[in-house]
Structure 1
Amino acid sequence: MGIPLSAAVTLGLLFFLSVGLNEQVAEGCRCAQRKSQQQYCDSDTVIRAKITGKVNSTQSGTAYSVKIIKMFKHVDEKPIQVIYSSRNSCGINLKNKEYLLAGSVKNGMMFVNLCSLVKRWDSLSSMPVSEWL
């Protein structure tokens, strides 16, 4: 007597699903492929900013103090005072440099991660913003 066909199919599906789930966990953060223009449109805030250092925070993740150089887009009433990035696999490490940053914002706190639009300002060409977004 063998295993009934429906049980064998179920076991096979469970095996393939478990392999697929383990692969996703092992690879860490995954981001949907989006063009810079789409990231701009989907973000609450888009800024050119200079990271001035890390600060202590009650939020989880790494908090950075920031000097805003130019706001291209901002939907929150409060000015951005701190930028946060999570400590998980989707988090990013910002240096004390200028960046083009696009992310979500709430109560003056901006949140960015590997899936956000984060580009070192000095790596962008001299073309107008509309051409490299």
Structure 2
Amino acid sequence: MGVLLSAAVTLGLLFFLSVGLNEQVAEGCRCVQKDLHQGYCDSDTVIRAKIVRKVTNTQVFAYRVNTIKVFKHVNRRPIRVIYSLRNSCEAYLENKEYLLTGQVNNGKVFINSCDFVKLWSDVSLAEKDFLCGCQRGCNCGIVPVLQHHN
């Protein structure tokens, strides 16, 4: 009986410690994941891009990109590099094609894990329709339903 109780107490303590540690790690970057509508409205830039190469230094990740399509951008300069600060909210991208939203600061596009970042292959038909509609004018005061019904 004593061994079973001891094992149960140990497992309980391990569980609460692991939950506490996970919460502590997760506290570094707290944000509500944005859907595409919110990401589009809150962003300076919305692009479909292929990540070509990742370059890192002590403060920032720089991703060289081939921009496939610009859905929204505040200036006319081509986007060849996007940046993500090395902090708890940094965005980790692989050499794949993405739909990305981000902010422009001093002419540079910055993204983080709180922005809308999604593999292009995972972008739904409803989300693609939304993007096409926004190119003709998008009302950010109205929240659309991004569900596709067959």
TM-score of the aligned structures, taking structure 1 as reference length: 0.70
In the alignment, is residue 92 of structure 1 matched against residue 91 of structure 2?
A: yes
Pair 1:83–1:90, CA change in 2 (3 A): same
In the alignment, is residue 117 of structure 1 matched against residue 116 of structure 2?
A: yes
In the alignment, is residue 77 of structure 1 matched against residue 76 of structure 2?
A: yes
Aligned length: 110
The structure 1 segments of at least 4 consecutive aligned residues displaced by more than 3 Å after TM superposition are: 23-26, 32-35, 126-129
Pair 1:66–1:108, CA change in 2 (3 A): farther
Measured on the aligned residues, the alpha-carbon RMSD in Å equals: 2.5
Identity of paired residues, percent?
56
Q: Distance between the aligned counterparts of 2:120 and 2:33, measured in 1?
A: 21
SS at match of 2:125: coil
Structure 1, unpaired ranges of 5+: 1-22
Which residue matches 1:105? 104
Encode CA deviations 1:51-110: one digit per residue, 9 max, x unaligned: 0001367x9311010000000001123221211111111001100000000000235421
Q: Distance between the aligned counterparts of 1:35 and 1:28, measured in 2?
A: 21
Q: Distance between the aligned counterparts of 2:56 and 2:34, measured in 1?
A: 32
SS at match of 1:88: coil
Pair 1:33–1:55, CA change in 2 (3 A): closer
Structure 2, unpaired ranges of 5+: 1-22, 131-144
